[in-house]
Amino acid sequence: MRLGRGHPVQRTPDLTPMVDVIFLLIVFFLAAARLEQDRREPVDLPMQAGETEQNRREGLVLTLLADGTLRIAGVSRDIEALPALLAEASRDGMPSVTLRANREVDVVVIDRVIRLLARSGVPGVEMAVSPGGDS
């Protein structure tokens, strides 16, 4: 019996797993970037059609939770500290303000926030709503 050694076969590496990994990384970074952009606290906004599209890239976003807690960029803040925060934020001009308030929040809290904003020089407030019906 002769066990002849043949020539070693030169195998080309399979590129499929590498392509898979690259696409997975691309999808991951795209999804992560999108999540970063939309990173807003979930709030039960008033269910109304609204007037305008929200400007999501600029300005200050104030979130009022159902219990009246004010949150800015994910951090709970004292409502009375708003003027100081606005003074700091308005060094390069007064930012536009979007108020994302839970639909069950007492309007007393809303009015308190609006009064503080107005006294700080904020000319107007965008009230965020969620399209989907009357509430």
Partner 1 sequence: MNFSRRRPDPVASPSLSSLIDVVFLLLAYFVLTAAFALPERSLTPAISVDGQGADASAEVEPQVVQVRAQSGQVVYQLGAQSHSTLDALRAALRKLPQDPGLVIKAEPGTPFGAGAGAIQAGRDVGFQDITWSADGEPS
The residues binding partner 1 (CB under 8 A) are: 15-16, 19-20, 23-24, 27, 30-31, 34-35, 38, 40, 45-54, 56, 64, 80, 98, 100-112, 114-119, 124-131, 134-135
All residues at 6 or more sequence positions from 54 whose CB lies less than 8 Å from its CB, including other chains = 98, 126, 128
Cα gap 108→47, rounded to integer Å: 20
Report, in Å, the least distance between residue 9 CB and partner 1. Answer: 17
Q: Please report where in the chains the tokens 């606005």 appear, as a residue.
A: 86
Comparing CB distances to partner 1, the nearer of 59 and 89 is 59
Report, in Å, the least distance between residue 59 CB and partner 1. Answer: 11
**Both structure tokens of 113:** 């926030």
